[in-house]
Structure 1
């Protein structure tokens, strides 16, 4: 960038390719340790205003070493937001469906207002009281705030599982790779603060540190969503895709509030006709498509199938799913359905299945009030060729509780 920074009076560059390269270099400078004020000055001098479309083309994994300590990654993402703050051009659109009650973005913004009020009127106030006096009463107030703030997981989960897949469909991966990582930092920090307060032993500064991080990053995330993510999504997603998102949001739930209304778009081309009554002849029987779907959905387990290209092709939809799934994951690579910090585990498992090193793998975890048994099976054809992976998830608490025998009807 040395050829640019000597002339501080230079006008912002108009060529899109050149602007993008300069943007990348500016953030590389930031990641390589340059002072944020200096980098911001370079940004103002050579870029000026930036569009959401330009931001969508920035891929942090191309510019930043992912092996950096978590604290350094958090610091860099925070500075990233500071660079863009006040410099994003408003996207011009003929229609603004996000202003219509019930539209997914309208609901997200409604939640953000509640989250911001909770942060400013509760968390910050009670944190100040705690700093002045870490009495049991003030510890409890802050703990209550953290418990309520855990509801933010629903807001982030809808964003990650409903909006991100559609952006990826249009070749936009920045939010998935960057925002999801920050969402996880926030989730983990809220849980950490809750634990520190539940087991409070006088370590005031530890609580203050994590609480201040939560306040800063939750408010920064609201800015990122409303100034980058939502305009980006509104610019790219179709009305039918927003209808699907609105339709599937109930399955995940809402944060601190609920949709103001049921959204009724001007047009709705979603085909929700009943599935075909055609029949499928298998080696051991004949079923209609409807029978097959009902059969799979009545199994007391959750099933997901990923094809040979790591694309999610199917999941069963039983009455009590253990992990949230939405139809938006269909056609999405499984790597992008997992938080960035756990993708390496998915990659290693799939590599073992594809190479023939393994045919199955089991995991078992405590999840909320359930003991969950998660099994993965490599699916191979008659020639032994890998055609995909089957995920099989079951709550085994009721099974572990079984003892004795039962030989007659209840």
Structure 2
């Protein structure tokens, strides 16, 4: 078939026919070849409309979910993106795309680790397993990327009557999450051998990576262009304001996007919303509280009762670098795999009431660093979470005598 189909309705009819052929079991290669011959570049909006129509016409969502990867592979590179709107720096879609770049780089690193495993280059298997465990721990950060889509972006699409594709994509998110969890569990198997790892890589490890990478393509070729067309700037600003509550994935946006019609800063908005934070012994504004926490000569990190990192201070002399990508991440996934069991032990003992403080001190670059974990409890003794406090105490070891005369530190 050599003639091009230019009419939108005919294009959608043909696309639907090709997807249903995949549903019946026709070869991907044959369908892809016919698609290339007859549909050259398909506008991204039509792909979404066809998925929506298939669901409306009775094709079960689970069937569309099964077909999702297949028809996405067939469509890859054949979707017309020439009319996609320009995305400002720091815009929610810009953040999603920057996260995708980090995710793809991480997946490539994991693929390299798996190639080392499958060749005879990997002599130290336990060391490689630890490396892979760390990589898959980091990959599970994609959960926050997906949650921002599910809880912030999808509701706005649904208001526009676009319900089918978000449901299908959410189903794919859940599949990918389970594959990554399965990969982490596999890599935690005590004494797992090289042969066992290689045998399992095609079952969970590689499908997890493939799922993540294919999802980035679906987002950038279909979901985001369509969302940019459908959502208003007001909608996007609502998403922008709420995204930090869920957190970022492997990336901390350096640019704060703000539409031209927004006059006040985020900090001013917070102060207006909350006014003063009232405590039993006094009160302060959000601005004052931030200044206090960031002036203390210690690093503070708070992990809530559900083991999620919820806050870190930003003192000028941080010992351990943090960025907002760790917010709402499981605390176990924020530490090297070799020390994850220590984190588990501390959290478990704090929750049970067996302990309330756990001090450590280590040498880093000639400095003595004191790190202490505190169990946080309310007045009833109920567990609220963990406070990690890190402090460079080298200067205190050098103190002698007394200092009673006024002098200023730098």
The TM-score normalised by the length of structure 2 is 0.60
CA distance in 2, matches of 1:188, 1:399: 38
1:218-265 CA distance string (max 9 Å, x none): 111111111111111111111111111110000000011111211122
Compared CA separation, residues 29 and 239, structure 1 to 2 (3 A): same
* 8 A Cα contact 2:110 2:135, kept in partner: yes
Q: Does 1:252 align with 2:252?
A: no
1:268 shift after superposition:
3.8
Q: Does 1:49 align with 2:41?
A: yes
Question: Which of these residues, 126, 131, 141, is aligned with residue 113 of structure 2?
Answer: 126
Q: Does 1:226 align with 2:238?
A: no
Compared CA separation, residues 10 and 135, structure 1 to 2 (3 A): same
Q: Secondary structure at the match of 2:113?
A: helix
CA distance in 1, matches of 2:232, 2:306: 30
Question: Which of these residues, 5, 9, 16, is aligned with residue 12 of structure 1?
Answer: 5
CA distance in 1, matches of 2:236, 2:48: 19
1:47-105 CA distance string (max 9 Å, x none): 2221121112123545744566xxx955x322211121111112526x62x2x221111
1:136 shift after superposition:
1.0
Q: Does 1:92 align with 2:83?
A: yes
Q: Does 1:147 align with 2:141?
A: no
Partner residue of 2:200?
Answer: 206
CA distance in 2, matches of 1:25, 1:260: 45
CA distance in 1, matches of 2:58, 2:111: 34
Question: Which of these residues, 179, 182, 189, is aligned with residue 192 of structure 1?
Answer: 182
Q: Does 1:161 align with 2:151?
A: yes
* 8 A Cα contact 2:44 2:80, kept in partner: yes
1:44 shift after superposition:
2.3
Partner residue of 1:388?
Answer: none
Q: Does 1:107 align with 2:95?
A: yes
CA distance in 1, matches of 2:186, 2:134: 13
1:126 shift after superposition:
1.2
CA distance in 1, matches of 2:110, 2:59: 32
Partner residue of 2:22?
Answer: 30
Q: Does 1:179 align with 2:179?
A: no
* 8 A Cα contact 2:65 2:168, kept in partner: no
1:119 shift after superposition:
1.2
5+ residue gaps, structure 2, are 279-303, 309-346, 352-376, 383-410
Aligned CA RMSD, in angstroms, stands at: 3.4
CA distance in 1, matches of 2:40, 2:105: 32
5+ residue gaps, structure 1, are 1-7, 275-289, 295-319, 325-367, 372-396, 403-410
CA distance in 2, matches of 1:12, 1:215: 35
1:92-146 CA distance string (max 9 Å, x none): 26x62x2x221111111111111111111x2111111222347111111111101
Compared CA separation, residues 116 and 77, structure 1 to 2 (3 A): same
Q: Secondary structure at the match of 1:147?
A: helix
1:184 shift after superposition:
1.1
Q: Does 1:83 align with 2:77?
A: no
Compared CA separation, residues 22 and 51, structure 1 to 2 (3 A): same
CA distance in 1, matches of 2:36, 2:256: 42
* 8 A Cα contact 1:126 1:142, kept in partner: yes
Runs of 4+ with deviation above 3 angstroms: 60-68, 320-324, 368-371, 397-402
Q: Secondary structure at the match of 2:161?
A: coil
Partner residue of 1:378?
Answer: none
Structure with higher Rg: it is 2
> In the comparison of the two structures, how many residue pairs are matched?
274
Q: Secondary structure at the match of 1:257?
A: coil
Compared CA separation, residues 80 and 131, structure 1 to 2 (3 A): same
1:331-353 CA distance string (max 9 Å, x none): xxxxxxxxxxxxxxxxxxxxxxx
1:188-241 CA distance string (max 9 Å, x none): 111000001101533221134311112212111111111111111111111111
Q: Which has the larger displacement, 54-63 or 169-178?
A: 54-63
